[in-house]
């Protein structure tokens, strides 16, 4: 008796835009906070009266917090807008299909060659701007389809979706 397969076609979609924007905003904010902390420390550090150190650190904390909040907000908004313009509102960064049968795995490898994917390693296939990583564990396999480099555009997105739907339909036949 065959186990029930779990075939999932998953894409990161617009939520991935927020993830990349968040990481980019954190990097920019960290650099800006570091620069402003150094600048303010050199400019206002009390050198003669150590009793002013607590008020200096309070000033530094409030100033850097305000700067960090503004920089993070501007960076996050700009990154969302820039990534949305570059990727479109429905860009999908990867697709994942999983299965449990080793016969399906062998048939899928043959089907990938029919789709003009070239096997560079035993578990890695590539075609133009797309790459497929086919991971196998004890009784399961996972196919991960993604662009070769993170430079998404709408043409690549359409090619990625088309190939993913071909693979999904092929896997559903089993």
Can you give the pLDDT at residue 152? 56
> Is a pLDDT exceeding 80 seen at residue 99?
no
Q: What token pair was written down for 156?
A: 């690549």
Can you give the pLDDT at residue 3? 43
Confidence of residue 9 (pLDDT cuts 50, 70, 90): very low
Token pair 């600048």: residue: 39
Whole-angstrom CA distances from 143 to 56, 58, 125 are: 56, 53, 10
> Is a pLDDT exceeding 70 seen at residue 163?
yes
Which helix (H) or strand (E) segment holds residue 160: the answer is helix 154-172
User: Of residues 120 and 70, which shows the higher confidence score?
Assistant: 70
Q: With CA atoms as reference, report the closest residue to 136 among 92, 101, 171, 174.
A: 101
Q: With CA atoms as reference, report the closest residue to 131 among 144, 122, 150, 141.
A: 144
33-47 confidence digits (pLDDT tens): 888 888 877 777 766
């Amino acid at each position: 008796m065959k186990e029930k397969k779990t075939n999932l076609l998953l894409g990161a979609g617009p939520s991935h835009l927020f993830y990349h924007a968040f990481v980019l905003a954190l990097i920019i904010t960290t650099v800006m906070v570091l620069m402003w902390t150094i600048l303010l420390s050199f400019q206002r550090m009390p050198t003669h009266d150590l009793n002013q150190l607590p008020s200096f650190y309070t000033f530094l904390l409030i100033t850097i917090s305000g700067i960090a909040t503004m920089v993070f907000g501007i960076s996050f908004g700009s990154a969302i807008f820039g990534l949305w313009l570059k990727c479109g509102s429905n860009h999908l960064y990867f697709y994942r299909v999983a299965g449990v049968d080793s016969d399906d795995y062998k048939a899928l490898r043959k089907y990938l060659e029919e789709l003009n994917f070239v096997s560079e390693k035993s578990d890695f296939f590539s075609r133009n701007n797309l790459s497929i990583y086919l991971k196998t564990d004890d009784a399961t396999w996972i196919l991960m389809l993604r662009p070769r480099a993170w430079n998404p555009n709408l043409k690549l997105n359409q090619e990625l979706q088309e190939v993913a739907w071909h693979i999904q339909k092929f896997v559903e036949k089993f």
